[in-house]
Chain A
């Protein structure tokens, strides 16, 4: 089955720790996105990548980092510099830019800071 997978489903982090969230897709999609979802605020864009080895900051990139070494993978690291990391994190991908604008989402990772 083609799709987007995210792991882990739940993640707990202590203050001062960096954690990495995994996002993998087998849809052969070019572009991938990371969003953060908080109650009452909708989805906010953290980072996005249009091709391998290239990525751009979204609206709330501070305290986060990403890499795109493979087309299928776009991991997100939540660093200790992110002051309020507790949220639901969603990864999305899109097949061809400028042609098909439909973003497809993974199941999400819920991060909680202890």
Chain B
């Protein structure tokens, strides 16, 4: 079993839709959680960073962490064609090395 599971998609939605992206994990030691956006043939770009359980909002993006269920989500409101990309979840345990474990990524296509 992988430490982090992420539905690879592809996920196709119409412009303006609410998008829900999810990851599950098995290691309860993970303390901080991130979402990255990666456009084709580019490096990942950090979108959201959350520490422990709860919600965090930044513009059209909301990140949720439910540590009791080992489940994290990224919601995108009023989705735009420019949101079309691969979304990677990542999580870490903290400590000296700051090693991250990544999900496989979900490919999102927002249709105009």
With known contacts A102-B49, A104-B46, A42–B97 Cβ distance under 8 A: no
Number of A-B contacts (CB under 8 A): 63
With known contacts A43-B102, A101-B49, A108–B97 Cβ distance under 8 A: no
- Which among A14-22, A60-68, A72-80, A90-98 touches the partner chain? A90-98
Interface string of A81-114 (1 = CB under 8 A from B): 0000000101000100110011111111010000
Query: A-side binding surface: helix, strand, loop or mixed?
Result: strand
User: Which residues of A have CB within 8 Å of B103?
Assistant: 42
Interface size class on chain B is 20 to 34
Count of chain A residues with a beta carbon within 8 Å of a chain B beta carbon: 26
Chain B residues within 8 Å of A, Cβ to Cβ:
4, 6, 8, 32, 34, 36, 41-46, 49, 88, 90, 92, 94-100, 102-105
